[in-house]
Structure 1
Amino acid sequence: MFGDWGHGICLLLGALILIARESKLSSQKLGSFMEMLFGGRYVLLLMSLFSIYCGLIYNEFFSVPFHIFGESAYRCRDNTCRDAHTIGLVKVRDPYPFGVDPKWRGSRSELAFLNSMKMKMSILLGVVHMNLGIILSYFNARFFGKTLDIRYQFVPQMIFLNSLFGYLSLLIVIVLLLLALIAAPWMLFPKPFILKKLHTERFQGRAYGILNTSEMDLEEPDSARQHHHEEFNFSEVFVHQMIHAIEFILGSVSNTASYLRLWALSLAHSELSTVFYEKVLLLAWGYDNLIIRLLGLAVFAFATAFILLMMETLSAFLHALRLHWVEFQNKFYHGDGYKFKPFSFATLTDDDE
């Protein structure tokens, strides 16, 4: 979302200053804004590093492309493409080794090309991110011994997500769509019926070793575990599983589309940076007047610092936080455990000591 290695270097310098003065600033009383920056100094450091990396991919340094990794793969056939960059270009060498070819900047098809590239990158990153979340749910289920969750949630979820949004769907879409249709009832029906059967066998005194399922598969919410004598509520379990299946199926579409914010915000940042560079700095530099040039430079510096580095950074951080909390963590985090209590010496009782 913040792909400009010039802006990323500015953020990196700011983060390094905060980290270098960590011991001094931690003992001072800071304002609300500085306290927020100081508290997120390491987050700012990571954001700046990823901004530099994405900026190298987009080949943008304060919206200006550079031939960092060699010459462009294209050149003009003759003098006809001096002004119109897309006329008369011929490919003369291998593709640009890393990032966007600098020749795309200023061409007539620049926006269409960047739109397509950033949109596809956003979807690919989103699918990888959500797959990682589903994989973490597998380790959760294995840790707690819930083999039913592995067989009837993790496996169909992986099939459904990758069948609809995986790269292979472009090649064998018919087979993968059929797998997606199979995955939906797979995720919905088996688990409630198996739980009902195991619950019945448990209270009949028989061993329930079906499907090599451990006792953890029969875990119920905390409130229900205290009342094992109550009758097994099959309808409640079935409705809960149905809600979970419908939520995942519909959410997989909306969650994938939600990653398009990476595309939209990175494009907005690039276009804003280009506007400030071309319509403010270059326009002022075109006048043979020192005052106008200094004024243009001041406006450009102000816009870069307060709009691109502060507002855009905060926007990118909030959107990234939202993607981690909603699209990523809803694949494995449920929040139905015990309340988190941070360790503190002040809260220790005499008995604990």
Structure 2
Amino acid sequence: MGSLFRSAEMTLCQLFLQSEAAYACVSELGELGLVQFRDLNPDVNAFQRKFVNEVRRCDEMERKLRYLEKEIKKDGIPMLDTGENPEAPQPREMIDLEATFEKLENELREVNQNAEALKRNFLELTELKQILRKTQVFFDEHEGGNPTESMTRALISDDNIARQGGLGPVQLGFPEKPSELEDYLPCFVAGVILRERIPAFERMLWRACRGNVFLRQAEIETPLEDPSTGDQVFKSVFIIFFQGDQLKTRVKKICEGFRATLYPCPEAPADRREMAMGVMTRIEDLNTVLGQTQDHRHRVLVAAAKNIKNWFVKVRKIKAIYHTLNLFNLDVTQKCLIAECWVPVLDLENIQLALRRGTERSGSSVPPILNKMETCEDPPTYNHTNKFTTAFQALIDSYGIASYREMNPAPYTIITFPFLFAVMFGDCGHGLLMALFAGWMVLKEKPLAAKKSDNEIWNIFFGGRYIILLMGVFSIYTGLIYNDMFSKSLNIFGSQWRVNNVTEEQAINMLDTHMLDPATKDFLGYPYVIGMDPVWQLAKNKIIFQNAYKMKISIILGVFHMLFGVALSLCNHRYFKNKVNIFCEFIPQVIFLTFLFLYMVSLMFMKWIMFFATLDLPGDEDGDFRRGPQCAPSILITFINMVLFKESKIVEGCDETMYPGQMFVQKFLVITALLCVPWMLLAKPIYIMRTRSQKAVHTQMQQATENGDAEQALANNTQAAAPHGATGGHDDNEEMSEIFIHQGIHTIEYVLGSVSHTASYLRLWALSLAHAQLSEVLWNMVLSKGLIIDDWRGGIVLYVIFSFWACLTVSILVLMEGLSAFLHTLRLHWVEFQSKFYSGLGHAFQPFSFELILDTASQGDAE
């Protein structure tokens, strides 16, 4: 847990691995997930690295597995996921895996090709069966004569002329010379076409053949399966009659253009019946063969589905290992691989054990060598987290990765974040709903995590389940403080008010509300045990009282929250041994914030302690009056007058100040706070400038002593830089003008930010009041309507209205208001709190971890 408060200490190491042991060692480090390797070949092309062929082999195996996975999903076969995490196979096992995948792919492709050919043949036979059936109906309409003669009569019949007369002149007919009759005997073609192409097909036939065709079509009722895509398509049977070979060629070209399939259709009924019987026999045989093919395909896919998850894990691990080995360098002997990596100092022993296990697995006799290296680079930031702290750390990292060894806000955010959220979301009922939902996710954590849903919104909720749980629990607590549950108060301990001027009927029916004044005899003089007295729910001045109460609470919480952030900056300065920032930044910042805003908070507490609403206090009359509400000063007006050096207006008979010497103390505090501004602005740059001058003098004196020219050294005493670490985090080569500008920006940001950030915490008051009012409006305008009807109909109405009220409560008050409060709380931490001590300029530790690689790959597959 130590690295949770501050990032783990990192070191750069050099790793020497024997070539035969490198694969096994990297595999063990990948299982451990605590090493971040550096690329030692940045100028080498990815296709020119040593293990590029192995990576390509892994890509090919992954392609084959994706093909198998697609076919398995296509058939709806469940893939067995035992949750096992198999180790990375040895390099020699790659050949067996490749052979297995090659065999499965070839077998599956062969089965698919055969099945597609069989389905295409089955489709053709089915279409031919439909043609023989549909055309038989048309031929039966002309029973009693030769089909050709019947078609001839049909082509020149009045009905046909009437049907096609609207499209153009009909030119069909017999020639004048009987010897030419054979050339004009009608021919016909039959086929199948997609149903949606029929209108365009018919128009094209009519225009291209100039009306010299006769088309009949009938829809096929059942959809047919396309063997190429597997989609269900609707088709229609057509038969076209025409005269002459010229039209025959033209008609066939049009059918080809519309991708219509033509089939032979005999003229004689006996031939058609014989063909139909043969088609039915072939269809039955094809059904048998297709069933056997599908059974074989199903058995192959079921066998693959049992192992495909483990195969994916193995292949991805092998690929990750070889990709990592490509980052290494080969020594001159070509027998040793050299790597550089960032590792946590506390985990060096675990890394050594992992390397030892890898060496033993490979059978190598030469142990690996791990040496620490000195470097001037900034190490990556690594914070140890668990399933509880991961979500809070993610909130901080979303703002910026902490600089190396910088104070980590995450452990403090675990408490402050849900608490500030609850201040804005204070409602026992809504907090209970939130806590129950989060508690269910926590209790069902393992089965829910195993489902690996690809719903992004659900993944966000599930990832932040512990944040939601704490927000709900804290909201229940603040709801008890506000005594607010679905806009109603709980009278657990009995009210301390007795409203004497209310009749019994008014009290029962709540026909009226009343102003509550603690100075009257209605108040018993003892506070409610915890939180607000429930009688405030019926008071006319409820909003006025809650406004003052919640606004002061917001300012108090905000000032202490900001002071805590400034105090954490001291931990950073002390850890980095930066005394300049302690004396030139931290001390004036604390003085400025304390002398102005913490003093204002102290005035609030003094006002609560010194002044009372009741007038019946022990002592003389003058004392009672001076401690009464008439003499209680306004803290806001007092603070404004304090900054402007003005005296407050005095009420006759009241004390001029809250305590003796108040005006002198306030002037002293304001003047001291104002003096802190130039202190923050100039002290650090001047100190750096003087330090650099002294360093320059010292350097020149040394050179003069060596060269015998001390006067020349004194003349050039401004040309050297200050020693590293004495400049408060600034580079020795940085221009002084830039240091002055940077310090000026930092000072202005802090001074103006202290004012704006204090006012920003008023959002705690505003959102809390808005949430309470929305809840009350929803109760009065929706749920109370269901309580009007008294008889049995009232139960039905209440059931319907309660359902509507519950939906609005969850969707608006819990989800939308909860999201709004969450975002405001996030802003308070990112801007108002973290800006006091957190720079967030680091880069994250990205270890070589199989767990992270597999999670990323699974998310990519889900998308």
Specify the TM-score bucket, using the shorter chain as the normaliser: 0.7 to 0.9
Question: In the aligned structure 2, how far is the partner of 1:261 from the partner of 1:342?
Answer: 37
Which amino acid letter does the alignment assign opposite residue 439 of structure 2? L
- Give the structure 2 partner of residue 41 of structure 1: 465
Shift of the alpha carbon at 1:306?
1.0
Distance apart, 1:270 and its partner CA: 0.5
| Contact 1:115/1:267, CA 8 A, preserved across alignment | yes
In structure 2, what is the Cα distance between the partners aligned to 1:165 and 1:119? 15
Structure 2 residue corresponding to 1:178, chosen from 645, 652, 671? 671
Partner Cα distance (1:89, 1:302) in 2: 43
Is the Cα contact below 8 Å between 2:695 and 2:723 reproduced in 1? no
Query: Superposition RMSD on alpha carbons, in Å?
Result: 2.4
Q: Which residue of 1 aligns with 2:845?
A: 341
SS at match of 1:105: helix
Indicate which of 117, 135, 140 corresponds to 2:549: 117
Number of the residue aligned with 1:209: none
Is 1:300 aligned to residue 723 of structure 2? no
Aligned equivalents of 1:174 and 1:163: distance in 2?
10
Alpha-carbon deviations, 1:74-126, whole Å to 9, x = none?
Answer: 11234368433326761114111321111111211001111111111111111
| 8 Å CA contact 1:62, 1:273 repeated in 2 | yes
Distance change >3 Å, CA 345–CA 204, structure 1 → 2: farther
CA distance in 2 between partners of 1:164 and 1:296 (Å): 52
Q: State the partner residue of 1:27.
A: 450
**Structure 1 residue aligned with 2:819:** 314
Question: Residues 91-106 of structure 1: matches in 2 within 5 Å?
Answer: 91-106=523-538
Question: 1:300 corresponds to which letter in structure 2?
Answer: W
- CA distance change for structure 1 residues 344 and 316 in 2, over 3 Å: closer, same or farther? farther
Distance 1:193 1:113 in 2: 51
- Alpha-carbon distance, 1:291 to partner: 3.1
Structure 1 residue 256 displacement after superposition: 0.9
Give the structure-1-normalised TM-score: 0.88
Alpha-carbon contact 2:579-2:728 (below 8 Å) kept = no
Counterpart Cα distance in 1 of 2:687 and 2:808: 62
* Residues 1:66 and 2:506 aligned together: no
**Residue matched to 1:217:** 726
Distance 2:737 2:851 in 1: 44
- Alpha-carbon distance change, 48 to 275 in structure 1, aligned in 2, over 3 angstroms: same
SS of alignment partner, residue 63 of structure 1? coil
Q: Could you tell me which amino acid in structure 2 is paired with residue 137 of structure 1?
A: S
Indicate which of 197, 201, 207 corresponds to 2:694.
201
> Taking structure 1 as reference, are residues 174 and 103 closer, same or farther at Cα in structure 2, changes over 3 Å only?
farther
Counterpart of 2:727, as a letter, is: L
Distance in 1 (alpha carbons) for counterparts of 2:764 and 2:602: 23
Counterpart CA distance in 2 for 1:347 and 1:74 is 62
Aligned equivalents of 1:236, 1:257: Cα separation in 2: 31
Deviation at 1:217?
Answer: 3.2
Instruction: Determine the structure 1 residue equivalent to 2:704.
Output: none
1:17-55 Cα deviation digits (max 9, x unpaired): 001111111111322221111011011011111111111
Q: Which residue of 2 aligns with 1:14?
A: 437
C-alpha distance after superposition, 1:214-238 (max 9, x if no partner): 95232545xx4xxx5x4x6222211
**3-state SS, counterpart of residue 308 of structure 1:** helix
* Matched AA of 1:23: K
| 1:318-344 CA distance string (max 9 Å, x none) | 1111110111000001133x3122434
Question: Across the two proteins, how many residue pairs are aligned to each other?
Answer: 334
What do residues 129-160 of structure 1 show as CA deviations (whole Å, max 9, x unaligned)? 11111001111011111111111111111111
**Which residue pairs with 2:785 in the alignment?**
283
State how far apart, in whole Å, the 2-side matches of 1:343 and 1:296 are: 55
> Relative to structure 1, is the Cα distance of residues 280 and 191 closer, same or farther in structure 2, using a 3 angstrom cutoff?
same
Question: In structure 1, what is the Cα distance between the partners aligned to 2:502 and 2:816?
Answer: 42
3-state DSSP of counterpart to 1:328: helix
Identity %: 42
SS across alignment from 1:19: helix
User: Which residue of 745, 757, 761 maps to 1:255?
Assistant: 757
Residues 72, 101 of structure 1: 8 Å contact kept: yes
Is the CA contact 1:8–1:49 (under 8 Å) kept in the aligned structure 2?
yes
Q: Using the TM superposition, name which of 322-331 and 178-187 deviates more.
A: 178-187
* Distance in 1 between residues matched to 2:535 and 2:569, nearest whole Å: 44
Query: Match of 1:321, as an amino acid?
Result: L
Check whether the contact 2:497–2:535 (CA below 8 A) recurs between aligned residues.
yes
- In structure 1, what is the equivalent of residue 500 of structure 2? 77
Secondary structure, counterpart of 1:34 in structure 2: helix
- Greater displacement, 163-172 / 327-336: 163-172
Q: 1:139 aligns with which of 548, 560, 571?
A: 571
Question: Following TM superposition, by how much is the alpha carbon of 1:241 offset from its aligned partner in structure 2, in angstroms?
Answer: 0.9
1:109 counterpart letter in structure 2: N
**Residue aligning to 2:748:** 246
Paired residue secondary structure (1:317): helix
1:5 aligned partner, one-letter code: C
Contact 2:547–2:765 (Cα < 8 Å) also in 1: yes
Q: Which of 254, 267, 274 is residue 769 of structure 2 equivalent to? A: 267
- Higher mean displacement: 281-290 or 87-96: 87-96
2:522 partner SS: strand
Distance 2:569 2:723 in 1: 18
* Distance across 1 between alignment mates of 2:564 and 2:782: 43
The 8 Å contact of residues 580 and 728 in structure 2, kept in 1 or not, is answered as no
- What are the superposed Cα offsets for residues 250-290 of structure 1, whole Å, 9 maximum, x if unpaired? 11111111111111111111011111112211122112333
> Post-superposition shift, 1:204?
3.1
Report the secondary structure of 1:218's partner residue.
coil
Tell me how far 1:163 sits from its aligned partner.
2.0
Q: Are the counterparts in 2 of residues 145 and 214 from structure 1 also a CA contact under 8 Å?
A: no
| Other-structure match for 1:187 | 680
Q: What TM-score results when the alignment is normalised by the length of structure 2?
A: 0.37
For residues 44-78 of structure 1, give each alpha carbon's deviation from its aligned partner in whole angstroms, at most 9, with x where no partner exists. Answer: 0111111111111100011111123x222211234
- Shift in Å at residue 203 of structure 1? 3.3
- Computing the radius of gyration from Cα coordinates, the structure with the larger value is 2
* Distance in structure 1 (CA, Å) of the matches to 2:740 and 2:471: 43
Q: Distance in 1 between matches of 2:526 and 2:668?
A: 36
Q: Which residue of 2 aligns with 1:351?
A: none
CA distance in 2, matches of 1:346, 1:17: 30
CA distance in 1, matches of 2:602, 2:502: 44
On the 8 A contact 1:6/1:61 being kept in 2, the answer is yes
- Secondary structure in 1 aligned to 2:515? coil
- Give the deviation of 1:346 after TM superposition: 4.6
